[in-house]
Amino acid sequence: MILQNKSLLRSKAYINGEWISANNGASYKISNPFNGEIIATLPDLGRDETKMAIEKSDIAQKVWKTKTAGERSNILRKWFDLMMENKEDLGYILTIEQGKPLKEAIGEVVYGASFIEWFAEEAKRTYGDVIPSHAKDIRIVTIKQAIGVVAAITPWNFPNSMITRKAGAALAAGCSIVVKPAKNTPLSALALAVLADEAGIPPGVFNIITSNRSSEIGDELTSNPIIRKLSFTGSTEVGKVLIKKCADTVKKVSMELGGNAPFIVFADADINKAVEGVMISKFRNSGQTCVCSNRIYAHSSIYKEFTEKLSKEVNKLHLGNGLEEGTNIGPMINLKAVNFVTKLVNDAKEKGAKVITGGCCSDIGKTFYKPTVLTDVDTSMDVHKQEIFGPIAPVFKFETESEVVQLANDTEYGLAAYFYGRDYAMIWRVAEALEYGMVGINTGLISTTLAPFGGIKESGFGREGSKYGIDEYLEIKYMCFGDVS
């Protein structure tokens, strides 16, 4: 495939409707994780440029918020239409900078665009209330207003949809936004900016900071009093730092942080469908998603059958260049990620786990690790405690419902959980008992625009998508009218 709309591939940052370089001329390179080829050289912006972006965004927001909800909705709808018209090119850019297979990348683009479409409609539904009064001459009214300028820090694993999920809601609410995409996947963000400009989103309302200096940019976004809301998707470790820094200016924050998702297969489950669910949940994006099944629990009575069928399906996966037809597992994001999963597998093997498929790097390239199934794993192994973020499926054995629920909840994380079974009394009990913000029941794919996405415990707080998502960017104002008699 060749990029058709070459204007989408940009090599400058986007601030206040202009394509800019760093003030000091600094730059850094972006490489394709498949082969290490340099695909772009981008401005390495610093604190001064970020401050300028925030100030310009503040000016723009004061005008943007005065547009009617219908006007904002129409512009967002144009943005959505342009994304869909250019979905193949957006997918191509995503694949060369992130590595995931092209079909999967285009799927992410469509998923990302759906948030723009959804919030284009939700812009018209930010209703207030008239509240029955406590006195005859008093009237009580509430309205919802845009919180102001928003900062978004987004990850490398979903460089399109993690931006649109935040920007769609923010812009619909009447906020402007300054986005700091991950340093190694900014090209998708810049392509979105091209289409935002074409759709008529005014200068300063949508801004993209490209930088290799994440801490410096983060310091400005968290300390600048103009920023009234920070939305972050990333690791729990970084999220905690950002929360602390935002406290000094009492910003509203939403955090979508790490996960350690259990995937439970009960004795009465449809095993074939459970295997299908694991394949969808575990190996999408080479296992590099926050809602990936991390710890798979199979009942002892079906453990052998389940692991054999899972291994058979895993062996069908084809590793390769995401741009090549037939590839369904791309590279990991970098060598650091490969080394991490290698360490996890080695730890499991040293403690008695068995590798029934995979278990080593691939000779395709340095950033490839073979999809792996581990059996005979136990809670002493690091694969039980740590977020794997790679194509490793450890399968644990359990005996009772209460035992597996306790094991599933034995983590500081609480983002997503999955289980398969047919006993509906048990389904209700387990779904209620699992300490997670999202639970997939007889499905391995839970992400959708229509449902609230987010976690509990150390997986964060706040919700994205659904009718609840726009509330993260609104403040409730109470107005008391006196002397109405």
Give the torsion through C-alpha atoms of 107, 415, 357, 420, to 10 deg.
Answer: -90
Residues 6+ apart with CB under 8 A from 238: 232
Q: How confident is the model at residue 252, as a pLDDT?
A: 98
Judge contact between 218 and 237, C-beta under 8 A. Answer: no
pLDDT of residue 323: 96
The DSSP string of 396-456 is EEE--HHHHHHHHH-SS--SEEEEE-S-HHHHHHHHHHS--SEEEES-S----TTS-B---
Longest dimension (CA), the chain: 82
Kindly state the tokens that stand for 127: 């209703």
Q: Which of 108, 122, 256, 387 is catalytic?
A: 256
pLDDT at 2: 87
Identify which of 449, 468, 480, 381 has the alpha carbon closest to the alpha carbon of residue 173.
Answer: 468
Please name the helix (run of DSSP H) or strand (run of DSSP E) that holds residue 208, with its range, or none: strand 206-208
Residues found in the chain: 485
Burial 73-87 (b: 16+ CB within 10 A, else e): bbbbbbbbebbeebb
Contact by Cβ (8 Å): 63, 17 = no
Active-site residue flag, 472? no
Check if the beta carbon of residue 71 is closer than 8 Å to that of residue 63.
Answer: no
State the Cα–Cα distance between residues 323 and 459, nearest whole angstrom.
33
In whole angstroms, give the CA distance from residue 112 to residue 132: 40
Catalytic residue among 49, 290, 458, 464: 290
Q: What would the DSSP string read from start to end of 212-246?
A: S-HHHHHHHHHH-TTEEEEEEES-HHHHHHHHHHH
pLDDT in tens, the chain (485 residues): 789 999 999 999 999 999 999 999 999 999 999 999 999 999 999 999 999 999 999 999 999 999 999 999 999 999 999 999 999 999 999 999 999 999 999 999 999 999 999 999 999 999 999 999 999 999 999 999 999 999 999 999 999 999 999 999 999 999 999 999 999 999 999 999 999 999 999 999 999 999 999 999 999 999 999 999 999 999 999 999 999 999 999 999 999 999 999 999 999 999 999 999 999 999 999 999 999 999 999 999 999 999 999 999 999 999 999 999 999 999 999 999 999 999 999 999 999 999 999 999 999 999 999 999 999 999 999 999 999 999 999 999 999 999 999 999 999 999 999 999 999 999 999 999 999 999 999 999 999 999 999 999 999 999 999 999 999 999 999 999 999 98
Any catalytic annotation for residue 256?
yes
Burial tier of 442 (Cβ tally within 10 Å: 0-12, 13-18, 19+):
middle
Quick one: which of 211, 208, 232 has its CA closest to 30? 211
Is the separation of the CB atoms in 414 and 458 below 8 Å? yes
Task: Give the separation between CA 157 and CA 331, rounded to whole angstroms.
Answer: 12
| Phi and psi at residue 481, to the nearest 5° | -95, 120
How confident is the model at residue 262, as a pLDDT?
98
Angle at 332 between CA 328 and CA 338, to 5 degrees: 130
Q: Which residue shows structure tokens 């928003």?
A: 150
pLDDT of residue 11: 97
Closest CA to 376 of 356, 346, 359, 400: 356
pTM attached to this predicted model: 0.96
φ, ψ at 168 (rounded to 5°) = -60, -45
**246 neighbors 240 (Cβ within 8 angstroms):** no
| Residues 6+ positions from 285 with CB-CB distance below 8 Å | 100, 104, 157, 158, 330
Mind listing the domains of the chain with CATH numbers?
A: 6-257+459-478 (3.40.605.10), 261-449 (3.40.309.10)
